[in-house]
Structure 1
Amino acid sequence: MTKQDRAVRTRLALIRSAAAQFEARGYVRASLAEISAGAGVSSGALHFHFANKAAVAEAVEDAAARALRAAAVRSRCDDGCALQRLVDVTHHVARMLSADGVVRAGLRLNVEGAAGRVRDLRREWRECVQGLLAEAERRGELAAGVTPQRTGAVVLAATTGIEVLAREDHGWLARPSLTDLWRLLLPCLAAPRLAGALDPAGSEAVGKEPAGRQPAGSEPVAQDVPAEAGRAGLALR
């Protein structure tokens, strides 16, 4: 293993450990000593990668942001029914939140502004939902009288509520929770021609990652190492 590979692995281990500490103890109570111990490295190794706790938190948030944005981009780029893609992306995000502590911790840090909030993931999620609903309207997929604006507000309230409730009980992120939500919403939202064609449980492709893809906290980031080497201790932007 090269020195660069070891540095990448160490950084990823620190991000995963920090996410676990932030989720379990909160930003204020989490300590750098606990984060470095959880990653199995020295405090000196931690400070080589991150200047302080705020920089660690920003790195966790950035990793979560990349994963969530990738899900949103895939939902917009795929072909097929926009309403089904909206259903699918909610299931995909719920699956990520359930399985990946880095995504959970990063979203929570972002919402609470613990890392300085240089980005707003809730706003980006709103834009994803509203964009898919606007596309559904253009395609004639929405029922008469249904508007993207009012529908988007309902979907955002419901999905945000599930994410908040899941902080105490991950069962809220289970597939049946969102399936029940969409069973209630789709008959009210979808044009009659789509009756029976939409799957509230998500299409077969929902949540499937490209071969070799890993969770946000363990994705290889070798392409970022050269840039980081010149600014050791600074979080990714």
Structure 2
Amino acid sequence: MQDRAEETRKAVLQAAAHLFFERGYAATSISDISERSGRTSGAIYFHYANKEQLALAVVHAHFAAWPSVIARMEATLGPALEKLVGLSFEVARAFRDDVLIRAGARLWAERGSIDVEMPPPFVDWITTVERLLTRARTEGDLAPRAEPSRDAPTLVAAFFGLHTLSDVLDDRLLIEDRLTNFWLLFLPGIQADPAPRDLLAKARGHMAVGRPAPLPDGRTR
């Protein structure tokens, strides 16, 4: 019984994510989610009190996806700056391919029309980037003029600004190309011995090894 309930909860969450991403919060109803998920409205309300709570669950799922991505990247071998670049591509792919990630981002952007308190974005990303930049300094890979506490918010702002632009211009289809150009511009300013193309090649080649195979909906096994 518990397995069936969990299966229902996940099916509802996934269906809601697809619809919230495709249509937005206001244009999606519980009836739509019921039809998409193949579950009754009663089953949906059993797990989620209302549409607002279901939207919040999608946003929480979005935020909950990142700690394992960060931990997996930080556990790999290699210098911190290489890990930072590799992490940025992992995040970019998730925003492009994972409907829960994309739906969570859209719902957060529409938070003014949703009567629930959303978790704050970006703060954890700034902390993660600052930590990796600080390690890069310890490893001797950061330029003297670079300052982790100052540069981390700027890097995060530019990274997510790039995502907004790519979302509007090409539905993120070219996000990896745009991100490559982003690092070619940014790395010469923070690397102790600038070699952005070499670092990019190492980061992208290394992270391709052992990456879980994607499922049809963009999530991984």
Change (3 A) 1:34 1:219: farther
How many angstroms does 1:33 deviate by? Answer: 0.8
Letter paired with 2:179: L
Match of 1:151 in 2: 151
Structure 1 stretches of 4+ with a deviation exceeding 4 A read 193-197, 207-220
Counterpart selection for 1:33 from 22, 25, 31: 31
CA displacement 1:76-120 (0-9 Å, x = unmatched): 343421111110111000101111111111133235434734522
* Structure 1 pair 104–200 and aligned structure 2 pair: CA distance change class (3 A): farther
Cα–Cα, structure 1 residues 208 and 124, in superposed 2: closer, same or farther, change >3 Å?
farther
**How many angstroms apart in 1 are the aligned matches of 2:101 and 2:143?**
34
Structure 1: stretches of 5+ with no match in the other structure:
221-237
Equivalent position of 2:179 in the other structure? 178
Query: Structure 2 length as normaliser, TM-score?
Result: 0.84
Unaligned 5+ segments in structure 2 are none
Residue 124 (structure 2) aligns with: 124
* Residue 84 (structure 2) pairs with residue 86 (structure 1): yes
Q: Per-residue CA shift, 1:189-230, capped at 9, x if unaligned?
A: 11118676412683324366765886999789xxxxxxxxxx
Q: Percent identity?
A: 33
- 2-structure distance, mates of 1:219, 1:199: 24
**Equivalence for 1:188:** 189
1:103–1:216 contact (8 Å) kept in structure 2:
no
Give 1:190's aligned amino acid.
Q
Aligned pairs, number: 218
Cα distance per residue 1:18-48 (max 9 Å; x no partner): 1122112222232111111111111111112
- Letter of the 2:172 partner, please give it: G
Evaluate the alpha carbon distance shift between residue 77 and residue 118 of structure 1 in structure 2; reply closer, same or farther with a 3 A threshold: farther
Kindly report which structure 2 residues correspond to 1:47-126, keeping only aligned pairs within 5 A, or say none: 47-113=45-111, 114=114, 116-126=116-126
Is the counterpart of residue 133 in structure 1 residue 133 in structure 2? Answer: yes
| Residues 84/217 of structure 1: CA separation in 2 closer, same or farther (3 Å cut) | closer
